[in-house]
């Protein structure tokens, strides 16, 4: 089968022909991949800024069809349409047993599909039955967005409660910032400003902006104050400027992944004076069922690929997909396998 794999030496990816993986464990499921997304984190991996196993098949946001499974799998049938949660835990350590599998030092974040183990930029992907979620109401194409929505859904739980009517700013209009904007709008928020420095990206979002009525600007306005700021850039200086714009009682949600070497300066006095909350979001513990429900609720009104600036590519067109994503011509690339 075809697989798009990370080549750690060259900080790049290359198409390889490898055998279809075989089921060796009784709880394994073989999924024929249908749609498989490329995200900002993949660009960090390819750029060598995010740890990743050498020669691994990338792709952690995918939907597909069940083709085979081990003898202990009783909840699936061949032909079931599914999405796969790329993350798992060991189910035994302190963190897993405290409901925080995303902190698991062995079986969670460090063993996830498409980063540590072979993922979904391939014809087939092998996963554990615990990671497979059946779809009943969403098309496989839209379902490629379930994984990013699951991370946003976890973020939503962390920033809640959030009063409707508050001033919200989302920084960075890649797919993640746009999904945050859509979710905030779905939940009744109307005072949303989306900040995006790349004019090509802003141009892509005109239709969605007109329909939903959020503000779309090129830079932060330093004289306004916000109740919630969601950083979706992973850019230290943007986060540092954002904290200065928080209102009394404000919350800063660091969703973007900054390179490990970046440092920012924050005033502890301001944190005291304004009772600020600064939080981060790390992936998607127990969020897949919520994300499937959210994708159903958001529906085509929000998640139409054209309105979002998402474009389909063949796996062989990976260089074009990566280039379009990097230069902001699109907000997301999805491989149609």
Ligand X SMILES: NC(=O)c1ccc[n+]([C@@H]2O[C@H](COP(=O)([O-])OP(=O)(O)OC[C@H]3O[C@@H](n4cnc5c(N)ncnc54)[C@H](O)[C@@H]3O)[C@@H](O)[C@H]2O)c1
Q: Are 307 and 207 contacting, i.e. CB atoms less than 8 angstroms apart? A: yes
DSSP structure string for 178-216: HHHHHHHHHTT---EEEE-S-HHHHHHTHHHHHHH--EE
Q: How far is the CB of 40 from ligand X (least distance, A)?
A: 3
Furthest-apart CA atoms within the chain: distance in Å:
62
Q: How many CA atoms lie within 13 A of 316 on its CB side?
A: 2
C-beta of 69 vs 109, nearer to ligand X: 109
Size of the site for ligand X (CB under 6 A): 30
DSSP 317: G
Q: For ligand X, which residue of 28, 85, 118, 196 counts as binding (CB under 6 A)?
A: 196
> Which listed option, Zn ion, ligand X, none, makes contact with residue 335 (CB within 5 to 8 Å by class)?
none
> Which listed option, Zn ion, ligand X, none, makes contact with residue 255 (CB within 5 to 8 Å by class)?
ligand X
Q: How far is the CB of 138 from ligand X (least distance, A)?
A: 19
Q: Does 172 bind ligand X (CB under 6 A)?
A: yes
Q: Which of these, 69, 181, 61, 177, lies nearest to 119 by C-alpha position?
A: 61
Please give the torsion angle defined by the CA atoms of residues 98, 104, 106 and 112, in that order, rounded to the nearest 10 degrees.
130
How far is the C-alpha of 111 from the C-alpha of 106, rounded, in Å?
7
Q: Does 5 bind ligand X (CB under 6 A)?
A: no
Q: How far is the CB of 188 from Zn ion (least distance, A)?
A: 27
Find where tokens 């498409």 sit: 114
Q: How far is the CB of 287 from ligand X (least distance, A)?
A: 10
DSSP 113: B
Q: Which of residues 138-157 bind ligand X (CB under 6 A)?
A: 148, 151
In degrees, rounded to 5, the angle at the alpha carbon of residue 228 between the alpha carbons of residues 223 and 233 is 85
Q: Does 64 bind ligand X (CB under 6 A)?
A: no
Classify burial at 198, counting beta carbons within 10 Å of its beta carbon; exposed 0-12, middle 13-18, buried 19 or more: middle
Find where tokens 């949303």 sit: 192
Q: Does 86 bind ligand X (CB under 6 A)?
A: no
Q: For Zn ion, which residue of 1, 43, 90, 278 counts as binding (CB under 5 A)?
A: 90
Q: Does 294 bind ligand X (CB under 6 A)?
A: no
Q: For ligand X, which residue of 233, 243, 246, 251 counts as binding (CB under 6 A)?
A: 233
Instruction: Name the residues that contact Zn ion, by CB under 5 A.
Output: 39, 41, 89-90, 93, 96, 104
Task: Point out which residues bind ligand X (CB under 6 A).
Answer: 39-41, 44, 148, 151, 171-177, 195-198, 201, 232-235, 238, 255-257, 281-283, 328
């Amino acid at each position: 089968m075809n697989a798009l794999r990370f080549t750690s030496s060259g900080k790049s990816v290359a198409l390889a022909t490898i055998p279809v993986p075989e089921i060796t464990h009784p709880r394994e499921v073989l999924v024929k991949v249908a749609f498989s997304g490329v995200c900002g984190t993949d660009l960090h991996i390819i750029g060598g800024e995010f740890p990743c196993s050498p020669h691994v098949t990338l792709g952690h946001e995918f939907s597909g069809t069940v083709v085979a499974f081990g003898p202990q799998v009783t909840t699936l049938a061949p032909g079931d349409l599914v999405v796969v949660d790329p993350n798992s835990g060991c189910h035994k350590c302190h963190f897993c047993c405290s409901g925080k599998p995303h902190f698991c030092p062995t079986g969670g974040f460090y063993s996830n599909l498409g980063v540590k183990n072979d993922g979904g930029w391939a014809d087939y992907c092998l996963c554990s039955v615990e990671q497979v979620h059946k779809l009943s109401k969403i098309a496989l194409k839209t379902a490629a967005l379930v994984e990013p929505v699951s991370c946003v859904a976890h973020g939503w739980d962390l920033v809640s409660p959030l009063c409707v009517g508050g001033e919200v700013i989302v920084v960075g209009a890649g797919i993640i910032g746009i999904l945050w904007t859509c979710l905030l709008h779905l939940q009744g928020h109307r005072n949303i400003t989306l900040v995006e420095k790349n004019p090509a990206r802003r141009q892509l979002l005109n239709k969605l902006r007109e329909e939903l009525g959020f503000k779309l600007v090129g830079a932060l306005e330093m004289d306004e104050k916000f109740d919630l700021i969601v950083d979706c850039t992973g850019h230290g200086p943007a986060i540092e400027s954002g904290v200065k714009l928080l209102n009394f009682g404000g919350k800063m949600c660091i969703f973007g992944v900054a390179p490990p070497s970046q440092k920012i300066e924050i005033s502890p006095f301001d944190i005291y004076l304004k009772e600020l909350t600064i939080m981060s979001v790390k992936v998607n513990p127990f969020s897949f069922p919520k994300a499937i429900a959210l994708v159903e609720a958001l529906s085509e009104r929000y998640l139409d690929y054209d309105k979002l600036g998402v474009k389909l590519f063949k796996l062989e067109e990976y260089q074009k997909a990566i280039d379009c994503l990097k230069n902001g011509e699109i907000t997301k690339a999805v491989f149609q396998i």
